[in-house]
Amino acid sequence: MKTALQLLNIALMLVLLTLYVCGTPATAASQQLPDTIDRVRPSIVQVSSECGWGTAFLISKEGFALTAGHMVACPGVALASQRVKIGMPLAYSFTDQTQKRGNFTLIDADVIERDDVHDVALLKLSRNPFGETIESGYTLEGKPLPLMPLGVALLSTRAVREGESVAVSGFPFVSPVLFTNAGIIASTRSAHDFNTEVPGLNVRVTSDFYLADMTVNEGNSGGPVYDASGEVIGIALGFRVAVVDKVIHGAWQHPPGVEDGYGYNAHLAVVVPIAHAKALMTKHTIGLPSQ
């Protein structure tokens, strides 16, 4: 007959086994994400135009990059007149010239084409960082600072499923530091399943998109949204805005829009499928990236 101590030891072993089995998938996923970020990071750059600051990512060793179309769709400015800059990160986060935006070296880029229906833009860097040496122009303690090693993003060719883990990396809030947010695909339904005419969607997309249950902010636009293997499944466009009702003269009223400050980030990221970006690449005979 088993003693009380033996029974206690058996119960403890069962509890530990349960914790191990239940905890293993989450632990494995959390350990995988840093390696995935390391694979995607070299492709991510900053983009700026008259429209503001955002994120882009390199998709060809010929110097092509992708970003959100609204990053280069400034009202009243012709496409051929767009002044676009690509910011390539330095290998160090801080320099002795931080007052001069010392964490990026800015070079010009041309807007090859913009798909206004799907809010995607194809860019071409004026200088190819894969074919020539580009100096950062910054020093630290008298020594030149190198740029971060660059690479190209791998683009997914498979169907995206609801519930799968995804992440987005970029430069929100015009930060010189790369930020990554993670979540899951909340919906793969098209925009036509949602009423995009009502306030609450702060992008101009009129076609299909995904919604991801994760946070993006100003500056994430154009950043790669990628799966657990590091393959890009889409491009971040913006976020859904939740509109808050308020009491006006004793009655609940729904504000006509979010411009009056009654909206907040609903933590649902709007993602355009990478297939629409690949259509632009095919049109301009740009092959899929490989590593």
> Closest Cα partner for 218 from 90, 48, 74, 76?
48
Cβ neighbours around 73 below 10 Å, total: 19
Residue 22 lies inside a defined structural domain of this protein: no
Residue 21 lies inside a defined structural domain of this protein: no
Residue 20 lies inside a defined structural domain of this protein: no
128-162 core/surface letters (b: 16 or more CB in 10 A; e: else): ebeeeebebebebeeeebebbebbbbbbbeeebee
90 with 145, same domain: the answer is yes
191-202 pLDDT tens trace: 544 444 434 444
If one counts the domains in the chain, the total is: 2
Of 108, 132, 153, the last residue of a domain is 153
pLDDT at residue 274, as a whole number: 96
268-285 pLDDT tens trace: 899 999 999 999 999 999
Residue 67 phi, psi (nearest 5): -155, 180
pLDDT at residue 29, as a whole number: 55
23-78 pLDDT tens trace: 444 445 556 899 999 999 999 999 999 888 999 999 999 999 999 998 988 766 66
CATH of the domain at 179: 2.40.10.10
Domain ranges, residue 71: 40-153
Cβ-based burial of 61 (10 A; exposed 0-12, middle 13-18, buried ≥19): middle
Of 121, 153, 185, the last residue of a domain is 153
110-157 pLDDT tens trace: 999 999 888 899 999 999 999 999 988 887 778 888 888 899 999 999
What is the C-alpha separation between 31 and 121, in angstroms, rounded?
33
pLDDT at residue 236, as a whole number: 94
| pLDDT tops 60 at residue 9 | no
Please provide the average confidence, as pLDDT, over all residues in the chain.
78
Residue 23 lies inside a defined structural domain of this protein: no
pLDDT at residue 37, as a whole number: 95
> Closest Cα partner for 268 from 150, 158, 189?
189
pLDDT at residue 50, as a whole number: 85
Q: What is residue 38's DSSP assignment? A: H
Do the Cβ atoms of 63 and 124 come closer than 8 Å? yes
64-117 pLDDT tens trace: 999 999 898 876 666 666 679 999 988 865 544 444 445 788 999 999 999 988
131 with 50, same domain: the answer is yes
pLDDT at residue 251, as a whole number: 56
179 with 237, same domain: the answer is yes
